[in-house]
Amino acid sequence: MRNTTVAPGTPCPAPPRPGEPPLHRLELAGGPGAVPFAAGPFDELGPLSRSDRPHRHTFYEIVHIAAGSGTHVVDLAGHPVRPRQLAVVLPGQVHYWRDQRGLDGTLALFTEDFLVDHPGDRALLRRIGDTCWFDLSEAEHEGTARLMADLTAECRQRAPGHESVLRALLHVLVVRMARLPAPGGGRPGGPGEPARLRGPAAPGTPPTVAEAFVRLAARPVAWSVRECAERLGVTPGHLTRTVRAATGRSPGRLLNEARAYQAQRLLAHTELPVRQVAARVGFADPAYFCRFFRRETGTSPGEFRKHHSSRLPSIDTSGASA
C-alpha cells in the first residue's frame, strides 16, 4: 500500500467518478518511499486537516482535540466538537468539519501497511471505528496529549530508529483507545451500516472467512452470496454458517445492509441523481432501488437526501493530506 503515500502536490492518478467525494492519499515530503506516517498539529499538517468539504482517505486518521467547537461529520453521523476528545476516521469513510471555530489539536495519519509490527491493531481500529468519537477524562486527555507529542517529536526529528519508535507509540495509542468506554455504552449501527464482527481476531492471526466476507461486503460492488463464497474459496453453506456465527446475521442480510449504507453515503455526500445512485449500488431499475431503500431504511431516497445531505460540492483531488 505504499502507493497511498505521495509527495506534496502530487495529483491523483485516478480521480473519483463524477459526483463522488475525492479520495485523498497521504502526502509526505519523502514521497512513496517515505515512512507512511505523519503526526502534528492541525496547522502543521495543512489546511485540508480542517476541510469543510466531504472527502475520503486511503489512510487512517486519529484526531486529538484540545480546543474548538463545531461538528465533525463522519459518514452519516455528526459529532459535536469540544475540548478533550479523541476520534478515528477509517480509510474510505467520508468526513469533513462543519462550522468549526478555534479547532486545535494533534493528528496522526498512517496507512494500513504501517501496522505491520502489530497486525492485531487493524481489528482494534475497526472496532474503535464502531464508536468513532470519545470524550476523555482529564487524565485520559493528558495521557493522550503526551503520546501525540511524542509521535510528533519523532516525526520531526527522524532520529535513527524513529520508524520503530513510531510504530510502538502508535500501538500504545490504539490499545488505549480500545479501552475507552463508548458513549452511552456503545453506539448501535444505523440502518444499512456495514457489518461488524462480534469481537476482534487474536493479534497475529490470519483473517477468518467471516472477516474476509465483511471486507468484501463493504466494497462498492454488488456481489451475491454465491459470488462472495467463490471469491473466498468456500461453499455458500459454509460461508452462511461462519458469518452467522461471527456476526449474528446471514450473509444475504449483511450484503443488503452494506448496499443500503453505500447508497446512504452517496445520497448524503454527492449530488448524483437517484437513478445513478441506484446504478452505483447494483440496481438497474431505479423504482426497485427505491422500494429496497425504503424497506432497509424506513424512508425514500429523496427524503433521506433532504435530511442528510451535506449540501456541499465535492472538491478536486489536488491535495491529499487529511
Domain spans of the chain?
2-185, 209-308
Render pLDDT for 157-168 as a digit per residue (tens, 0 to 9). 999 999 999 999
Q: Which CATH superfamily is domain 209-308 in?
A: Homeodomain-like (1.10.10.60)
| pLDDT number for residue 18 | 64
Q: Which three cell numbers stand for residue 21?
A: 467525494
Render pLDDT for 84-119 as a digit per residue (tens, 0 to 9). 999 999 988 889 999 999 999 999 999 988 988 888
| pLDDT number for residue 30 | 63
Domain 2-185 has CATH 2.60.120.280: yes
| pLDDT number for residue 5 | 60
User: What parts of the chain have a pLDDT lower than 50?
Assistant: 1-3, 185-193, 197-206, 311-321
Q: Which three cell numbers stand for residue 191?
A: 440502518
| pLDDT number for residue 150 | 97
| pLDDT number for residue 65 | 97
| pLDDT number for residue 81 | 96
| pLDDT number for residue 71 | 94
State the Cα–Cα distance between residues 29 and 9, nearest whole angstrom: 10
By the 8 A CB rule, do 239 and 211 touch? no
What is the pTM for the complete model shown?
0.69
| pLDDT number for residue 1 | 31
| pLDDT number for residue 205 | 40
State the Cα–Cα distance between residues 218 and 193, nearest whole angstrom: 9
| pLDDT number for residue 20 | 72
| pLDDT number for residue 10 | 58
State residue 112 phi and psi, 5-degree precision: -65, -30
CA distances from 239 to 188, 219, 228, 251, 256 (A): 25, 17, 9, 7, 16
By the 8 A CB rule, do 315 and 53 touch? yes
State the Cα–Cα distance between residues 39 and 49, nearest whole angstrom: 11
* DSSP class per residue in 109-171: EE-GGGGTT-THHHHHHHHHHHH-EEE--HHHHHHHHHHHHHHHHHHHH--TTHHHHHHHHHH
| pLDDT number for residue 17 | 65
Domains 2-185 and 209-308 share a fold: no
By the 8 A CB rule, do 100 and 140 touch? no
Site of grid cell 481476531: 201
| pLDDT number for residue 247 | 79
